[in-house]
Structure 1
């Protein structure tokens, strides 16, 4: 499956090589980060004990796609991140609930357009639940302009954790919508897909887009696994991704598999979230 995805994307790259960005384009570091919803029962791993490390991690990027971010969590984060602006709405019918929010550095990009759709057969119906999903799921997108006149589209999402059909259908919907939204411009898709590289959902995305970790010009930094369960994970699941289209050049990728102490310069061995953040350094 992974080999097929690489072959398909390589063919697309070959057909569009003349449109690739120049080497001197200013890089953009994009991050996907599931920050784990605020749950009091997490005890020592609850949100108040992690927020500083999460904020410090986000500061390492220019554009960030978050998952499991509630309005209250975002308020707490943004108070620590005045250099970022945020965009997004909640997945519930009334606009509340978890967001697939996008954070953007104020000094680098303006948000010139954007929106949210639901991962269901009725994407414009707020709060709609798709296929065999357990919960409403959304994708939030934004079109960004920088001071040099470059424009790119980012879409951020979080697939359902229960419904396999929902994940596969969501992947097809996201791929189609993202490609349509970007047109001929650069496109980045971030998200917790709850799907490993051998899944049908991954294949649906990889048929249209390149997995940044696989198409990077340099070897990835950090481990393969992105799900850590606060250190108790018993497998090496990679379920968090950055995908790109053929207008994007991937210089480097990383899995930030670090403890809170590594981020904040302390001896805290706990982890910032139950997922590791993943990054891709890109040019357009």
Structure 2
């Protein structure tokens, strides 16, 4: 099977990212025979390896001197990652979920991350999506999630401030067995999208969108996936953010490509920003808002109260994909909510 190993990493000059594992193609855990990933674009490291083994493959990344992998090795923390063809994600299921950033004010109610991380992980595993986007993810939350979803998933993301993993991120997770990564980037929702930490739309915090282009190995279709978190206060920022994503789609997506736009847009269903995302992009392309008349009153944000009706601010839009079903998972797990948002799940065909 063809596997694309890809990571967003900010490394010191003179250092590179390597991958090794328990099969011949990955060097059998010998750093000198490890695969050096190629530096493709801003902070994206990537390589494609044809793995012949039918058994589960364990692998791990490490950082070392460029072209000299046995010197100054720094292994990734945590357990080995695994590729296992027998453990498949649910076909054509995608999810968006604001997991709520870890903050001290939640600790008094036992809602901080230490009390919720197992609930979030359990909930996502029950849903078992092949692609999912998260919002409000801090560095230590991402580290926990990477450990929990170490089998078959890869993740692309970074923090929204200038420093790489400072403040919240909007990572995208996808099934490496089913998809190969083609391109990835984080762009800031501002007039200067390549400037890390930039904010020019009136919002108090930087806002970002994570973008990946994926090859579906079975169908050979190209999937363009966007995961964004819009500002919660300024409507102008929400509108300009929606316009910016549409322009990105016009620039990078062809009329026949599959498109998924998801995230916490902090916008109600009849807002201008949602209308922009539903407007025609070209002659033959228009995104479908996957909520219908019946779902428009269902809450995706509940502020810990568990309200089933109310603010619908989390979305999944589809382009050249047909919605089969939609679910808002508003149940408690172990008598507690995993976040102040409910995850939204769409099955497409």
Length-normalised TM-score, structure 1: 0.81
Aligned residues: 246
- Of 243, 250, 260, the residue aligned with 1:172 is 243
Q: Secondary structure at the match of 2:304?
A: helix
CA distance in 1: counterparts of 2:266 and 2:228, whole angstroms: 11
Mapped pair 1:151 → 2:222: yes
- The CA deviation at 1:233 is 6.1
- The CA deviation at 1:163 is 1.3
CA distance in 1: counterparts of 2:308 and 2:200, whole angstroms: 30
Higher share in helix: 1
Which structure: larger Rg?
A: 2
User: For 1:241-274, what per-residue CA distance to the aligned partner results, in whole angstroms no more than 9, with x for missing partners?
Assistant: 00011x111111110111122xxxxxx2x20101
- Of 118, 143, 155, the residue aligned with 2:188 is 118
CA distance in 2: counterparts of 1:136 and 1:87, whole angstroms: 18
Q: Is the 8 A contact 1:194 1:240 kept in 2?
A: yes
Specify whether residues 233 and 130 from structure 1 end up closer, same or farther in structure 2 by C-alpha distance, changes over 3 A only: farther
Q: Name the residue aligned to 1:138.
A: 208
- Of 75, 98, 108, the residue aligned with 2:178 is 108
Q: Which moved more, 1:116-125 or 1:201-210?
A: 201-210
Q: Name the residue aligned to 1:227.
A: 301
Q: Is the 8 A contact 1:64 1:102 kept in 2?
A: yes
- The CA deviation at 1:147 is 2.6
Mapped pair 1:30 → 2:94: yes
- The CA deviation at 1:192 is 0.2
CA distance in 2: counterparts of 1:156 and 1:168, whole angstroms: 16
Mapped pair 1:49 → 2:86: no
Q: Secondary structure at the match of 1:90?
A: coil
CA distance in 2: counterparts of 1:223 and 1:79, whole angstroms: 36
Q: Name the residue aligned to 2:149.
A: 81
CA distance in 1: counterparts of 2:288 and 2:272, whole angstroms: 15
Aligned ranges for residues 1-284 of structure 1 at < 5 Å? 27-43=91-107, 44-59=110-125, 60=127, 61-83=129-151, 84-96=153-165, 97-148=167-218, 149-184=220-255, 185-208=257-280, 209-214=287-292, 224-231=298-305, 236-245=310-319, 247-261=320-334, 268=335, 270-283=336-349
CA distance in 1: counterparts of 2:215 and 2:322, whole angstroms: 18
CA RMSD of aligned residues (A): 2.1
Q: Is the 8 A contact 2:96 2:263 kept in 1?
A: yes
Q: Is the 8 A contact 1:168 1:201 kept in 2?
A: yes
> Unaligned 5+ residue runs, structure 2?
1-89, 281-286
> Unaligned 5+ residue runs, structure 1?
1-25, 262-267
Length-normalised TM-score, structure 2: 0.67
Q: Secondary structure at the match of 1:58?
A: helix
Q: Name the residue aligned to 1:19.
A: none
- The CA deviation at 1:29 is 0.5
Q: Which has the higher contact order (CA 8 A, sep 6+)?
A: 1
CA distance in 1: counterparts of 2:306 and 2:289, whole angstroms: 27
